[in-house]
Amino acid sequence: MSMELYYWPGLPGRGEYVRLVLVAIDAPWRDMARLAERQGGGVDGLLRVLGDEREPFAPFACPVLKDGDLLIAQTPLICAYLGETYGLAPADEAERLFARQIALTTADLVNEAHDVHHPLGSWDYYEDQKPEAARRAAGFRDQRIPKFLGWYEQVLTRNPAASGWLVGAGLSYADLGLFQTVLGLRYAFPNHMAGLAGHWPGVEALVDRVAALPRIAAYLDSDRRLAFNQDGIFRHYPELDAPAVPG
């Protein structure tokens, strides 16, 4: 039976973190909002899942994953469930807990990236909060990105397995989350991220390594992969990026 992913159509957003894990575990799955309504998809299908008054474990927001009788929401939890159930997480208990910790930290970084362009709230347009966004962007670029990516680099360096992955000896859902986030930062802040090239070699190597995995590479080259855009979490506003480095 195919798993069902419910996320807003046209947006990579938080749903893309789940998609990458589904691809990596080679699971049969359907991106429900991209299906026709007669197939139970579309926005109407998504809203039915969110608004089902009979569901005792009601999700608050997308993404939502349906696996058999299970209905699971919240990106880090979905990714941890998939990883631990379908072989994309460490077997050791301490390492499993650490993978969850990494995924939750990545979710924090993603939220901060979103709040750069909507620092006052998602209910207002970016154009109505541009001065605040410019101030938020400067702090995010100069303080928060180095703090987060420096921590990931430290995690890679300290991994006892010396595998080049974040935790344990093999690929986990935590690595896929970092991969997607770094790509998002490169989209949103291309000048700034280009200027930081070489600062975190372990992180950069991990991103290249994930992109080269056969299943991931095929997915990235397919029409199932949604491109970053100006409606998602990571948005490119030139005025929020650093100036281009001459050369």
Domains along the chain?
3-85 (3.40.30.10), 93-214+232-240 (1.20.1050.10)
Q: Which tokens go with 217? A: 């590479």
Calculate mean pLDDT across residues 69-77.
Answer: 97
* Those residues with Cβ within 8 angstroms of residue 121's Cβ, 6 or more apart along the chain or in another chain: 129
pLDDT score, position 1 = 76
Rounded to an integer, what distance in angstroms lies between the CA atom of residue 205 and that of residue 24? 18
* Those residues with Cβ within 8 angstroms of residue 107's Cβ, 6 or more apart along the chain or in another chain: 75, 76
The pLDDT-based confidence of 58 (bands split at 50, 70, 90) is very high
What is the percent of the chain with per-residue pLDDT over 70, rounded to a whole number? 99
29-31 vs 3-6, strand pairing mode? parallel
242 or 167, which is more confident:
167
Q: b vs e for 57-82, b when ≥16 Cβ sit within 10 Å of the residue's Cβ?
A: eebeebbbbbbeeebbbbbbebbbbb
Calculate mean pLDDT across residues 136-143.
Answer: 97
Rounded to an integer, what distance in angstroms lies between the CA atom of residue 30 and that of residue 170? 26
Task: Please check the confidence at residue 247 and state whether its pLDDT lies above 60.
Answer: no
pLDDT score, position 36 = 82
Cis check: omega of the bond before 160, within 30 degrees of 0: no
Task: Please check the confidence at residue 40 and state whether its pLDDT lies above 70.
Answer: yes
Task: Please check the confidence at residue 245 and state whether its pLDDT lies above 90.
Answer: no
Assess contact for 47 and 41: CB atoms under 8 A: no
Calculate mean pLDDT across residues 49-60.
Answer: 91
Q: Average pLDDT of the chain?
A: 96
* Those residues with Cβ within 8 angstroms of residue 142's Cβ, 6 or more apart along the chain or in another chain: none
219 or 40, which is more confident:
219
Task: Please check the confidence at residue 244 and state whether its pLDDT lies above 80.
Answer: no
pLDDT score, position 46 = 87
* Phi/psi of residue 34, nearest 5 degrees: -95, 0
